Structure 1
């Protein structure tokens, strides 16, 4: 009679997962990927660089043109105070700030709707499912680049124009009352407009619609909320994006004002910050909840 020997069964090995866990992506990797995307589109940052140079040139040219009026001030009008030149109002002009606002807002919008238009957003989210991380990297990169551009335009414009005015003894120092605030506010509006552009790009996902909406928000809408007749209309207008930098750049030692119902300096800072935070929140919510 033969004996059958039963071998002990080998221990069961855990089955390999059908869908192995994707590797975790560091935030620095997301920043690097967004930088590669932006750098590959040379027209975007070249437009921002060109806009910065033009904005500085506009401010310098404005003050250079005013030298004649400083040397030969206009005759005093009856009942009006003597003419007094305001270096802040002319050295940090509204034309150049509007130019930087459009350039930065357009750059912010392009970084969002550009990926939806080309279909690259599907590849991005397939590689990195964490949509909040992707948008966070976009916000940090675009905000940082546009903040740098705004700081360069603001600082160079202030010191260059006041160096020109020093020979006329009307130049200002950065330590003078209201000057540092004006330089910071003039620089801060640039990244805020870039974030607003990103929100519009996420909302509309169309090039023409995003840029037109940006222009309407920054320039057309304020025309509907001007004047001092109705306070509620005026207060809406003073809480629009470009009105905040207008208030922050006013020289407290000049006769320049925003008329009746002008906001306070703190109110303008808060309003500018709220615009930026709301724009980021809108971008994150729309990208997370809408299909690609």
Structure 2
């Protein structure tokens, strides 16, 4: 029987959707996005923060959560040994990586975009009176909310790539957390001139730029930032593809 791209994708979707961890992790991701957005919107009392930035305050934790989801999908079969059966059924190998990435990325994009719009609605309802409210029709708002879904979808793909590259869920999650959370936190320790040049291009800083209504000093433009983050994802996918093609399962 001929193996088609659609067949491989359908098989990966079946694996993905049949796991309890998929629904638990997805639910946690949406919850974090909405809950932290509401908390930030209700409690913020400072200056220079848009209502969109507040309601998307949970995007950092949501990114880690969807990245974990991708890593589990990418590395899970290596942990159980099922990857041998998968690659025996798909001897060309690379369609497995592409299908896992498509499934995880699409699922994260759809659910997180819905979560972003829900966070906007819920956060706007409890917005602190010191912050000017914005509506869906205001400039930049739809792009920021849709951008949140795009960014988080790419994070899920990055998790898949790292999972299939290192072939360990724990290892992939550790690397992902380091890239998204730890590295940006260490950047301020660099000399100012170096930190100013490097910080906008760090993975989470670049990717999250698409959620800002307008770029500020020291940040990339929305689509430029997302493009930089997509570049990181492409590099990780290329490395995973090389290892998948050249080494044993």
TM-score when scaled to structure 1? 0.76
Q: 2:127 aligned with 1:170, yes or no? A: no
Q: SS of the counterpart of 1:177? A: coil
Counterpart of 1:151 in structure 2 is 113
Q: Deviations over 1:210-241 (max 9, x none)?
A: 21111111111112223795333333221122
Counterpart of 1:54 in structure 2 is 32
Query: Quick check: 2:161–2:236 contact (8 Å CA) kept in 1?
Result: yes
Q: Which runs of no fewer than 5 residues in structure 2 stay unpaired?
A: none
Higher helix share: 2
Q: Deviations over 1:76-121 (max 9, x none)?
A: xxxxxxx56631221211xx11221111111111112111111101
Counterpart of 2:5 in structure 1 is 27
2: CA distance, partners of 1:124 / 1:55: 34
Q: SS of the counterpart of 2:2? A: coil
Query: Quick check: 2:29–2:66 contact (8 Å CA) kept in 1?
Result: no
Query: Quick check: 1:189–1:242 contact (8 Å CA) kept in 2?
Result: no
Q: SS of the counterpart of 1:130? A: coil
For residues 114-153 of structure 1, what are the structure 2 equivalents within 5 Å?
114-153=76-115
Q: Deviations over 1:236-261 (max 9, x none)?
A: 22112210244333344xxx94x4x4
Query: Quick check: 1:110–1:207 contact (8 Å CA) kept in 2?
Result: yes
1: CA distance, partners of 2:149 / 2:205: 14
For residues 1-292 of structure 1, what are the structure 2 equivalents within 5 Å?
23-66=1-44, 69=45, 83=47, 86-93=50-57, 96-165=58-127, 170-226=132-188, 230-252=192-214, 257=216, 259=217, 261-292=218-249
| More moved, 166-175 vs 49-58 | 166-175
2: CA distance, partners of 1:41 / 1:271: 32
| More moved, 101-110 vs 277-286 | 277-286
Query: Quick check: 2:79–2:168 contact (8 Å CA) kept in 1?
Result: yes
| More moved, 217-226 vs 117-126 | 217-226
Q: SS of the counterpart of 1:226? A: helix
Q: Which runs of no fewer than 5 residues in structure 1 stay unpaired?
A: 1-22, 75-82
Q: Deviations over 1:39-86 (max 9, x none)?
A: 3321222221222123212211221234xx5xxxx8xxxxxxxx5663
Shift, 1:151, TM fit: 0.4
2: CA distance, partners of 1:58 / 1:102: 14
2: CA distance, partners of 1:111 / 1:178: 33
1: CA distance, partners of 2:220 / 2:43: 31
Shift, 1:146, TM fit: 0.8
Query: Quick check: 1:109–1:210 contact (8 Å CA) kept in 2?
Result: yes
- Shift in CA distance, 232/250, structure 1 to aligned 2, threshold 3 Å: same
2: CA distance, partners of 1:168 / 1:262: 25
Shift, 1:274, TM fit: 1.4
- Shift in CA distance, 266/48, structure 1 to aligned 2, threshold 3 Å: closer
